[in-house]
Structure 1
Amino acid sequence: MAWELIAATKRQALKEAIPAEWVTPADILPSEDQLDVTSFSKESGFFTKEELDITSTPALAILSNLGSGLWTAEDVTRAFCKTATAAQQLTNCLSEIFFDKAIARAKELDAYFQQTGKTKGPLHGLPVSIKDNFNIAGHDSTIGFTSLVNKPATHNSVIVDMLLEAGAVLYCKTNVSTAMMISESVNNVFGRTVNPRCRKLTTGGSSGGEAALIAFGGSRIGVGSDIGGSLRIPAACTGLFTIRPSFGRLPNSLARACLEGQESVNGVIGPIAPTLEEIVFWTKTIISQQPWRQDPKCLPIPWRPVEMKQKTSLKIAILWNDGIVTPTPPVSRALRETVEKLKAAGHEILPWNATGHLEMLGLLQRMFLADGGKSVRELLEPTGEPFRPEMKMWDEAAEMSVYDLWQTHRSRNALCKAYLRRWNDSGIDALLCPATPYSGVANGKFAYAGYTCVFNLLDYPAVSFPCGVVSNKDIDTAYDDAHQPLSDWDAQIQRDYSADLVHGMPVNLQLVGRRLEEEAVLAMTDLVLNDLAVAA
């Protein structure tokens, strides 16, 4: 079949997988000109009070209610499945739906609880959404390619087995960008996922389906992946929390990847959630299951608690801009205001130069394109699917020789060593910078991922977190009159900036720590958030 027909058939099958009683009636759906749909569940009258209570409750409290018998796993699962249905209708965030299996699983967990009086694992009965690339036996992992439609996985990814072992209920998979290499979640199979906070804005990529579902309220904790910002960008676009861990802390084995075999920059997995507490809980839970016993590339590093006293003083370096792209006005203001509050709280602040960032971006591009686009092309050709315009670089790439790739690795290693030396010499605890140049950007206009992907090359853990600042069209009207674009990217982003369009959008920043010190960067983020709350 032609790729267009394959895609249309898959979309129809996805639609038909939704139980009729959960399809939101057309007459109560928001009109297309209602951009913010995050309050739909509460205001529509389509959801019961119990359903709203469940989906608005943080994951740890849900687990507490399940453990006490106050709620059943079936009721919790049904509430999230129904809400995910509405999220799909309004944001196009899902790629696979298996609500029937989820309810059957929840019933089994309830029976176990009734028979034993015990929960089955630390995630007993908690619905967890997962990104499309994680394999679940019997379901597609298309990663946005029509050639992978109706080719269900024959095995589970390691993280899927670990989630099931911990008692989680899996109920849906979420949309991604083609090949998971575009900073927006759009592909030729399912189309574009939009931002529930403003449907004219992108939800980011490639874990954008997860971010849209969670921001809408159809999930409390989702699992995504990150090779250049694919967790941190969607979290920033929707005002959520995430952590991009160092490679080896969390299991990524047996997940589907378009650039499978590419190990110049390793992809990692991580959680997305509305609160930092949920991020910490999920990460600790998975690491406590000893993933290195199931994933041969996971390191045998147990969870190492880091306690920080309320008055702990950190030495934090500030990257105001990366010398390539200036943050848009709301992000620049958010960084300034955050720094002033941190200074007032007693933290030592010093500037950080973007030495090596431009070189790292160049190396990243060369490494991602080293096969001359063959990996992408081989997945497009069977159905005649064209390259999307966002993937022009892959279409035009020339294959690199093995020797040239090795020389690229030499350059990468030298840059990593120089960055580590500079970090050590400065004595900093953490680096604070934008997560993206944007507080929000129109669909199709996300142009720069440099603030995230350099830390993939360095393999440093990084938390993307909402800092409490919201875009304001009356304050963040335009760039400083003296601003001169730092690059063509910078000039384009300045031209595209609209204070009106992003009004009211939350701003995320990024806190970066030392490699393999996830517990520390999470604890430092918590301290920073507490200090910002006190100063508010």
Structure 2
Amino acid sequence: MAWESIAARKRQALKDSIPAEWVIPADVLPPNDQGDVVSFYRESAFFTSEEREITSTTAAKILENLSSGLWTAEEVTRAVCKAAGAAQQLTNCLSEIFFDKAILRAKELDAYFRETGKTKGPFHGMPISIKDNLNVVGFDTTIGFTSLVDKPAQHNSVIVDILLEAGAVLYCKTNVSTAMMITESVNNTFGRTVNPRNRNLTTGGSSGGEAALIAFGGSRIGIGSDIGGSLRIPAACTGLFALRPSCGRFSNFLARACLEGQESVNGVIGPIAATLDEIVLCSRTIVDRKPWQFDPKCHPIPWREPVEIKRPLRIGVLWNDGVVKPTPPVARALEQTVKRLKEAGHEIVPWKPTDHLEMLGILQQLFLADGGRSVRALLEPTGEPFRAEMKMWESAKELSVYELWQLHCSRNALCKAYLDRWNDAAIDVLLCPATPYSGVENTKFAYSGYTCVFNLLDYPAVSFPCGVVSDKSLDKAYVDYHAMSDLDAQIQKNYSAESVHGMPVNLQLVGRKLEEETLLTVANLILSDIAA
């Protein structure tokens, strides 16, 4: 069957899996030209006040209400599934829907609670959404390829088993970019996921389905992955929090990757959520389940809290990376954040983008080292074409083993030099943009350099919201600007204060390798200081 037919059939099956009573009636469905559909979730009579209360309650409070018996797992699951179904209809954010299975599990958890008076694990009854690349027995894991449709997983990813053992309710999988290697969540199987805050803008990639779902209100905590910014970029596009942990803290075992066997730059699993507290809750809960007992690549490092932080902090600030300057809203947010941190007594240390350009070059070579064979092998069975965003893979030249090893030597030298520079500067954390954008039109997200260098370094990083573009006059395009690169020139040319008005602005906080607890504690302190 041709790829177009496979894709059409899969999309129809996804549409048909939404229960009829949760299909938005035509007379209340937001028109196609309505950008903001979060307002529909907040205001429409399609949702009851009880459903809105459940879906807008933080994960910790939901778990408290479940453990006290105030709410049942079934009513929480039904409310979240209904919101997720609406999010799919309005943003195209899902790739697999198993609401019926989720409700059945919720009923089983409720029965257990009634019979024992106890909850079944720390996530008892908590609906958690997961990215498409995580395997769930009986459901497809297409990562955007039509050749992987109707090939249901025969095993769960380790992280899925951990979540289920902790009592979570899994109810959907979320859309990704083709091969999870594009900075916008679009593929030939499901199409494009759009931003619920403004559907003319991208939700980023590759965990863009997760970001759209959470930003809309159809999930409190999602599990995504990140190999070049795939968690932090969607969080920045939608005003959420995301943690890219160091490799080995959370299990990535038995998750699907397009570049199977590629370990020059490790992909990692991490949480994305509406609040930092929910990121911490999810991280702690997963690590407390001792994933190293099930994943040979996980480090046996228990969750280390509380963390003692000495004030004032010594904060490195990367104003730009020497390749692309942050667009005006992001530059302003960084300036204001640094100003408030100084006022709070913290020490600010300018941080130069030394070796960043070289690291980006090595990263690209490592991703293309197989000459595009991994991607091509998944496209050819159905005759699916390379998308325009994947042209680099179509024309890539395969490296020899020797050439790959030499790249590893160069990578290791750069990692050592970066670590030495960090130690010499004695900084606690590094503050920088998460992306150059506060928002960008669909098809125009063009640069992931601010995130992917930290994948090469394997440093943990948090993407966090710190403001909203609320005054177009403050964020006008640069005048008489001398671009740092051709790409910079194009990005600044495409920038429109009008198009991003009302959108959130995110920054990124980076910590030392395998020190996720310290990073999250510092992030909480910084957020408190800049809000004061």
User: Taking structure 1 as the reference length, what is the TM-score of the superposition?
Assistant: 0.98
In structure 1, how many angstroms separate the alpha carbons of the residues matched to 2:200 and 2:470?
A: 15
In structure 1, how many angstroms separate the alpha carbons of the residues matched to 2:326 and 2:48?
A: 42
In structure 1, how many angstroms separate the alpha carbons of the residues matched to 2:26 and 2:212?
A: 21
Alignment of 1:478-517 (within 5 A): 478-479=477-478, 481-517=479-515
Report the Cα offset of residue 373 of structure 1: 0.1
Report the Cα offset of residue 307 of structure 1: 3.4
Give deviations 1:35-78, integer Å, cap 9, x for gaps: 01112122110111110100000000000000000000000000
Give deviations 1:340-398, integer Å, cap 9, x for gaps: 00000000001000000000000000000000000000000000000000000000000
Moved more, 33-42 or 422-431: 33-42
**Equivalent pair of 2:317/2:351 in contact (CA under 8 Å):** yes
Report the Cα offset of residue 468 of structure 1: 2.6
Give deviations 1:462-507, integer Å, cap 9, x for gaps: 000001343531210111x342111111011011101000001110
Report the Cα offset of residue 308 of structure 1: 4.7
Q: Which residue of 1 aligns with 2:335?
A: 336
1:463 is the counterpart of 2:462: yes
Q: Which residue of 2 aligns with 1:305?
A: 305
1:321 is the counterpart of 2:302: no
Instruction: Name the aligned partner's letter for residue 392 of structure 2.
Output: M
Alignment of 1:374-393 (within 5 A): 374-393=373-392
Instruction: Name the aligned partner's letter for residue 313 of structure 1.
Output: P
Alignment of 1:398-417 (within 5 A): 398-417=397-416
Give deviations 1:254-284, integer Å, cap 9, x for gaps: 0000001000000001000000000000000
In structure 2, how many angstroms separate the alpha carbons of the residues matched to 1:440 and 1:254?
A: 33
**Equivalent pair of 1:434/1:508 in contact (CA under 8 Å):** yes
Instruction: Name the aligned partner's letter for residue 101 of structure 2.
Output: K
Q: Which residue of 2 aligns with 1:359?
A: 358
In structure 1, how many angstroms separate the alpha carbons of the residues matched to 2:37 and 2:430?
A: 34
In structure 2, how many angstroms separate the alpha carbons of the residues matched to 1:43 and 1:278?
A: 24
CA-atom RMSD in angstroms:
0.8
Report the Cα offset of residue 32 of structure 1: 1.4
In structure 1, how many angstroms separate the alpha carbons of the residues matched to 2:423 and 2:249?
A: 22
Matched position secondary structure for 1:135: coil
Matched position secondary structure for 1:27: coil
**Equivalent pair of 2:120/2:166 in contact (CA under 8 Å):** yes
1:525 to 501, 523, 526: 523
Give deviations 1:81-106, integer Å, cap 9, x for gaps: 00001100100000000000000000
Moved more, 73-82 or 41-50: 41-50
In structure 2, how many angstroms separate the alpha carbons of the residues matched to 1:519 and 1:145?
A: 36
- Structure 1 residues 62 and 136, CA, compared in 2 at 3 Å: closer, same or farther? same
**Equivalent pair of 2:371/2:396 in contact (CA under 8 Å):** yes
Alignment of 1:123-272 (within 5 A): 123-272=123-272
Instruction: Name the aligned partner's letter for residue 199 of structure 1.
Output: R
**Equivalent pair of 2:109/2:120 in contact (CA under 8 Å):** yes
Matched position secondary structure for 1:28: coil
Moved more, 482-491 or 8-17: 482-491
In structure 1, how many angstroms separate the alpha carbons of the residues matched to 2:26 and 2:150?
A: 29
Give deviations 1:433-476, integer Å, cap 9, x for gaps: 00000000000000000000000000000000001343531210
**Equivalent pair of 2:249/2:298 in contact (CA under 8 Å):** yes
In structure 2, how many angstroms separate the alpha carbons of the residues matched to 1:306 and 1:61?
A: 21
In structure 1, how many angstroms separate the alpha carbons of the residues matched to 2:470 and 2:247?
A: 33
**Equivalent pair of 1:335/1:433 in contact (CA under 8 Å):** yes
Alignment of 1:47-86 (within 5 A): 47-86=47-86
Instruction: Name the aligned partner's letter for residue 488 of structure 1.
Output: D
Matched position secondary structure for 1:225: strand
Instruction: Name the aligned partner's letter for residue 302 of structure 1.
Output: P
**Equivalent pair of 2:469/2:500 in contact (CA under 8 Å):** no
**Equivalent pair of 1:308/1:527 in contact (CA under 8 Å):** no
Matched position secondary structure for 1:474: helix
Moved more, 467-476 or 241-250: 467-476
**How many pairs does the alignment contain?**
532
Instruction: Name the aligned partner's letter for residue 226 of structure 2.
Output: D
In structure 2, how many angstroms separate the alpha carbons of the residues matched to 1:46 and 1:347?
A: 48
Instruction: Name the aligned partner's letter for residue 334 of structure 1.
Output: A
Instruction: Name the aligned partner's letter for residue 484 of structure 2.
Output: L
Structure 2, unmatched stretches of 5+, are none
**Equivalent pair of 1:330/1:471 in contact (CA under 8 Å):** no
Give deviations 1:295-333, integer Å, cap 9, x for gaps: 110000001114356x82100010000000000000000
Give deviations 1:116-155, integer Å, cap 9, x for gaps: 0000000000000000000000000000000000000000
In structure 2, how many angstroms separate the alpha carbons of the residues matched to 1:295 and 1:157?
A: 10
Report the Cα offset of residue 26 of structure 1: 1.4
In structure 2, how many angstroms separate the alpha carbons of the residues matched to 1:41 and 1:487?
A: 41
Report the Cα offset of residue 533 of structure 1: 1.1
The runs of at least 4 consecutive aligned structure 1 residues that moved more than 2 Å come to 306-309, 468-472
**Equivalent pair of 1:127/1:168 in contact (CA under 8 Å):** yes
**Equivalent pair of 2:141/2:153 in contact (CA under 8 Å):** yes
In structure 2, how many angstroms separate the alpha carbons of the residues matched to 1:396 and 1:418?
A: 32
1:395 is the counterpart of 2:411: no
Matched position secondary structure for 1:307: coil
In structure 2, how many angstroms separate the alpha carbons of the residues matched to 1:300 and 1:485?
A: 46
User: Taking structure 2 as the reference length, what is the TM-score of the superposition?
Assistant: 0.99
